[in-house]
Structure formats: structure tokens, C-alpha cells
Chain A
Amino acid sequence: GENVEQHPSTLSVQEGDSAVIKCTYSDSASNYFPWYKQELGKGPQLIIDIRSNVGEKKDQRIAVTLNKTAKHFSLHITETQPEDSAVYFCAASIPQGGSEKLVFGKGTKLTVNP
């Protein structure tokens, strides 16, 4: 299969709290998992990614964890700020006909309340 399920669809947190977004994928051959952030009126931008040979990756307040056995990966944002408010998309590489394509989840709208 080539589904990427993302939860929750909306998330509201208070400034300073942590936010966690979870994704699951169905193809065990998937090996690349990026996260994109889309601000209003703009195209998505890569914020962090992880490959299947790594279990966790951090970049300042953002971290991604990967559990290949369970086929799920998560985005963690600590000390959230109002500028973190955006739609976040997870994605997974899906093999197709000798190459790979990137399949996205349906997105999570994160609202950080000041």
C-alpha cells in the first residue's frame, strides 16, 4: 500500500507547551521521511527529515522519531511559539516501478495560542 496516515488533523496548544504529530505508513520499503511546514498563502517548506537507518533526529526545538518496526514516525515541537502556527505535513518515500515517489499525509493544522 501507499497510505500515509497523519494524526491529529488539528492541534491547539498554549505557547510554551509541546506539540506532537504522528504518522504511520504502510510500505515497509519506505526509507525517507520528511516533514514540511506550510504557512498561510505559501508553499510547504522542509523543516526536518529522517532516514530509515536513524531512530531520532533533532534540530533545535524540533525533533523527529522513527519506529521502523511499528511503521510510524512523529514530529515533536518543544517550547512552541505563535510563529509555529501552520499546517504540518509528514511524508514517506514509496517505491514505485523501480524508483520512488513521495506520498504526503493529509496534514495537521497547529495553532499556538499566546
Chain B
Amino acid sequence: KAGVTQTPRYLIKTRGQQVTLSCSPISGHRSVSWYQQTPGQGLQFLFEYFSETQRNKGNFPGRFSGRQFSNSRSEMNVSTLELGDSALYLCASSLRPSGSGGELFFGEGSRLTVL
């Protein structure tokens, strides 16, 4: 069974640009969560989608957005990039919503560098 696939794995952008990251969940999983990982802040919750609906969102500015398609694939977008957006963005899929006790299966992440 294929795991969670994130693309691209690495990317470099400049301030002011925008970026779109993609996540393909494990087949049959309807929940997709996104996290930002930085050395000092650990894993910070961005948002979670379940059956194409955003269930929860974290405390990030409106520049961070996401969506989920009918096949459960998800994308997140960051507009007007800032230096502080440099991070590893992790996607996780689960059968059930994350807070209800569904095990999260993480991808290997997309490492974004903003210059």
C-alpha cells in the first residue's frame, strides 16, 4: 500500500512569490492535515480537511490556504512568501479526523526555502 506522497520534496522561492504544495493521501483516507515544522517551534498545525471540507485551522495568517479534492488529494498554498515561511511542510492522512483518535500517517515533507 503506497504511503503519503508529497510533491515537490524541495523548492526554493523568493520573497513575495507564492507556492503550491501537493499531498496524495493513502488510498481510502479521507482526512488530510497539514503541519509546518521548524527547528524552534516543532510541529505547528495549519489546517485539516475531511471529505473536501476544512474541519479545523491553526493560527496562521490568511496567506496560508488549502483545499481538498474529491479524490482526497490536497494542496496548500502560501502567497506573498516571507523569509519566516522557510520550513518543512508535512502532510498527514488518516481514516478518521485527527483529533478523534485517527492515526496520522505522515509524508516525508516538502522543504521550502525562501530567499
Contact = CB atoms under 8 A, between A and B. Distances in A.
A34 B106 CA distance: 14
Q: Which of B43, B44, B92, B100 has the most CB of A within 10 A?
A: B43
B41 to A, nearest CB: 6
B99 A44 contact: no
Give the size range of A's interface with the partner: 20 to 34
Contacts of A107: 42-43
B55 to A, nearest CB: 5
A32 B109 contact: no
Given A32-B99, A32-B100, A43-B4, A103 B45 contact: yes
B19 to A, nearest CB: 19
B109 A102 contact: no
B101 interface: yes
Interface in B53-84: 55-56, 58
Interface string B79-103: 0000000000010100001111101
B99 A94 contact: yes
Contacts of A105: 42
B43 to A, nearest CB: 4
Given A43-B4, A96-B56, A97-B56, A102 B104 contact: yes
Contacts of A101: 45, 48, 55-56, 58, 98-99
A111 interface: no
Nearest to A33: B101
For the complex of A and B, list the 8 residue pairs with the smallest distance between their C-beta atoms, beginning with the closest.
A100-B99, A43-B106, A106-B42, A104-B43, A101-B56, A93-B99, A102-B98, A107-B42
Interface of A: 6, 32, 34, 36, 41-46, 49, 51, 89, 93-97, 99-107
